Structures are given as C-alpha cells and as structure tokens.
Structure 1
Amino acid sequence: MQSTFIIADDHPLFRGAMRQALEGIDGGAVIIEAGDLDHARRAASDHPEADLILLDLAMPGVSGLSGLVAFRAEFASLPAVVVSASDDPATIRRALELGATGFVSKSASIDDIRSAIATVLAGEVYTPAGIDLGAEHDSEIAALISRMKTLTPQQGRVLGMLAQGLLNKQIAYELGVSEATIKAHVSAILQKLSVDSRTQAVIQLSKIGAAVLDPQD
C-alpha cells in the first residue's frame, strides 16, 4: 500500500537523500517536499492523508524544538519524525517528550532511515540504537517542557503564531475565530507558562530551541 510522506528541510540535497530512502520503502511512496515551516504547514493541510512528516529542526521558520511544538499543536494526528544534525541524547529526549514519534540523525544511513520510517508506520516510536537518553539535568528546561505539555492544541497553535510575530487579529483570522477568543487563549498561555507578557511567552518557547543548540547534558 502506497504511503504519503512530507519532507520538511531547507537543503535540497538532503531532501533528495531522504527521497531516495523513502522511495525504496515497500509499497512505494508519494513524497511532498517543503523548504520551510510555512510550506510544511501548507503541505500538511493540503494532504490530510499524509502518513508522516520528516521535520528538520533547523530551517526557516523553526527555532530548534519550538518548531516541533508549534507543528504538533496544529497537526496532532500526523506523526512527526524529527531529523537533525543535533543528535545528542538531550535533544532526542526533549524532542520525544514534546511529541515527536521518532528521531533520525542526519548522519544516519539509508537503511536506518527506512527502519525508522517502518517503525513509526507500525505505530511505534523510533529512537536511534545504542543511545542512552538518560534523564533531564536542566531543571529549568524540565519545568518548561512540563508547562508546555499542559497547553491545549489550540493554545499551542496560538503560541506558535505569537512566536512568528502575529497580532491577535491576525491569529484570529488564521484560525477563523474571534479576537476575543484569541485574547482568552493568550491569557491562558501566560498563566500556564507563568509569565506576564506575550514577549516573555515567546522567550520561554525560544529557550527550548536554545537548549538544542547548547545542551546541558
């Protein structure tokens, strides 16, 4: 049975390598490519039949794991396999805690990529072999991830749009709701993240991305 995949990465050569891996999967594959987060969102919206997305952590519109947070909030039913050159245990663990259904290093072989895809399509979570994910050593990041996980899907989408610099009225238009509804979501987000302003909320979200670039363990 043919599967549909979205490859979200800003490097054409790497998308080509991923395409090569996916085209060798049993049953064949329909492949949609996206070079930034906006195009990845559009691809996921236009292809609700997609079986999974391969999501890079470092492309336009993405700041580390904050991109994963925003995408998972909007497309909770679409399995997301994170693909990254940052493949330390801390990054892998945090990605899985924030909703990734798998993690593939950019240095992985084609066979490993195919194995990861097969694992996720079978309904399981894939992690690279031989890596001890350990426990979170950064108490601030651990607390932040816990607070992020209390956000509803709609609140996660709103937070992601705040991070893009959108105003309440722009978010309301995008989501097809009233501006008052968005204001209520923003208030709830601030309360759950224990911050006093939209700016502080976005800073908190960016800390997850910074953690990828500067892991504490």
Structure 2
Amino acid sequence: MKVLLIDDHPLILSALKSVIQGLGENVTVAGVSSANAARAALVLDADFDLVLLDLQLGDADGFDLLAELRAAYPALPVVVVSGSDRTSDVIRAIDLGAMGFVPKRTHNDMLFEALRLVMSGGVYVPPMTLGVEGAAAADPPAEQETVPGYMNMIGTQATQGDFQAVPTLATLGLTPRQTDVLALLLQGKPNKLIARELEVSVETIKDHVAAVLRALGVNSRTQAVLAVSQMTQQGGRVASRASADDCS
C-alpha cells in the first residue's frame, strides 16, 4: 500500500510517517509539506492507494485541495487528519468527498481502525460527531473538549434528534438495488456515475437515493454518510452485490 501524507508541520509529518509505516511491512509512505508538492507528487506518480490530508496548509486551503484531489483522482481515497474535530469541519470534509476524518489527537489504535475501514470501502468519522446534524451543532468550549460530560451531552442531543434514531443496516429494509445505490453513494459518486455503473436512468437513481435517505431517516447525502458510518462502527456493513470488497 502506498500512502501520501500532506502536512506542513515537519514534526507531525515525521510522526505520521512512523505511525502509518506501522500498519505493515508492505506500506510505503511519501510525505510532502505543501499543496504544490502534493500536486507534483501525484503528477509524477498517481499510483497511491491513500492520501492523508491536513486542512491547515501554508500554500492552500485544505478544503479546496480536498475538492481538487477528489475531482482529479476520484478513485483515490482521501482521509482528513486535522487538528480540528469541529462538527462543521467534519461535515464539510465528508460533503467534499473525504472518506474519513481523523482528529490529530486520536490515539494510534483509532487511526489504524479508521484507515482499515476506509481501505475496505467504508467511511470513518470521529465518534463525537456521530448523530449531530449539520454545522448547527455547537462546537465544544476549549476547556470542555476532553470532559466526558460534554460527550454525554452530545450523545443526549443526538439520541433526542431524528437523525440519531436510525435503525441498524440489517433492519433498514433496503432492496438489493437500493443497497447497491447506497454503497456507490458512500463512495461519493454522483447520480450520473451511479446510473452508468448500474446501467439504469438517472431518474431511477434519484428515486433510489430518495428511498435510501428515507430509510436512513436523513435529508442529505452527507447525513447518510454519517449515519452509515455510525452503523459501520457498531458492526454493520454496506456491500453491493456486484462488488462487496469495494463497496462495503
């Protein structure tokens, strides 16, 4: 597995290299410290399996670079590794096509879990953001970021909201074709590409997407990603019939 790290902080870049190399003997890690260097690295060699992207770069906005990478290399999964864990940042990153969002203060085991989930076709988001709908969710005060009481408050808010009240994947009642659509939706593919891959019309895909959102109890693709991420971390799995390994 070849991994590209993009982070403008030398110490963090070095530490991330060491951590990622701990994933196994067959892991190759390249590190760059700027958006321009990342672009150049991908032009020279686009055969990377994973990109880890910091949002705070000296020569570019991390969100802009994320959108650029997803457009230029749609098959290349990008995981945001950020000093932020604000709900609004997580939502925005997932909405732009990130396959995961890992706060830098996350311990190594959780980082490994996140990367393995992404490489198996899943989407990872940090547990504290799960079930919190949209950017309207309040960010934690600085003095409370690691206080368990705040986590309990987030959990209570999520449980009381409609978005959190989502059944397990096994009980969603999706048809086989809707399951295929959901798996491709989780990969960030637009309706046109999903329609082409499944060989049906775009209007049919729109109907399937609407049905999937209703089954999940959410109103947008981003909320669907977060809801399914929660289920996946609780032991659920979404797999298309055609390619379970790629769309789980």
Q: TM-score, normalised by structure 1?
A: 0.59
Q: Quote the Cα distance in structure 1 between the aligned partners of 2:19 and 2:47.
A: 20
| Equivalences for residues 63-102 of structure 1 within 5 A | 63-102=61-100
**How far apart in 2 are the matches of 1:43 and 1:51?**
13
Structure 2 distance, partners of 1:80, 1:134, is 22
Q: Percent identity of the aligned residues? A: 32
**Aligned residue for 2:105?**
107
| Correspondence 1:47 to 2:45 | yes
* 1:78-157 equivalences in 2 (<5 Å): 78-137=76-135
Instruction: Give the match for residue 13 of structure 2.
Output: 15
CA distance in 1, matches of 2:62, 2:119: 25
Stretches (4+) displaced over 4 A: none
Output the aligned Cα RMSD.
2.1
Contact conserved, 2:53 with 2:62, CA < 8 A, in 1? no
2:26 aligned partner: 28
* Secondary structure in 1 matching 2:4: strand
SS at match of 2:98: coil
**What is the CA-CA distance between 1:103 and the residue it aligns to?**
0.5
Instruction: Note the C-alpha offset of 1:38.
Output: 0.9
Cα pair distance change 1:137/1:36, threshold 3 Å: closer
The C-alpha deviation readout for 1:99-132, integer Å capped at 9, x for no partner, is 0000010111111111111111111111112423
The one-letter code matched in structure 1 to 2:108 is I
Residue aligned with 1:49, SS? coil
- Where in structure 2 are there 5+ consecutive unaligned residues? 137-188, 193-248
The structure whose Rg is larger is 2
Between the aligned partners of 1:65 and 1:29, the Cα distance in structure 2 is 26
TM-score normalised by structure 2 residue count: 0.52
Judge conservation of contact 1:57–1:82 (CA < 8 Å) in 2: yes
SS for the counterpart of 2:42 is helix
Contact 1:21–1:111 (Cα < 8 Å) also in 2: no
- What is the SS of the residue equivalent to 1:33? strand
Q: Which residue of 1 aligns with 2:56?
A: 58
Aligned length: 139
Q: Is the 8 A contact 1:8 1:36 kept in 2?
A: yes
Output the CA distance in 2 between the equivalents of 1:96 and 1:105: 14
Residue number in structure 1 paired with 2:238: none
Distance (Å, rounded) in 2 between the aligned partners of 1:133 and 1:58: 26
How far apart are 1:57 and its partner, in Å? 0.5
Contact 1:81 1:102 in 2 (8 A): yes
Tell me the distance in 2 between the aligned counterparts of 1:89 and 1:133.
10
Deviations 1:40-66 (A, max 9, x none): 112222222211100110012322422
Contact 1:4 1:30 in 2 (8 A): yes
Gaps of 5+ in 1: 139-148, 153-217
Once residues 135 and 108 of structure 2 are traced to their aligned partners in structure 1, the CA distance between those partners, rounded to angstroms, is 32
Higher RCO (C-alpha under 8 Å, 6+ residues apart): 1
Matched position secondary structure for 1:76:
coil
2:179 match: none
* CA distance in 2 between partners of 1:5 and 1:73 (Å): 19
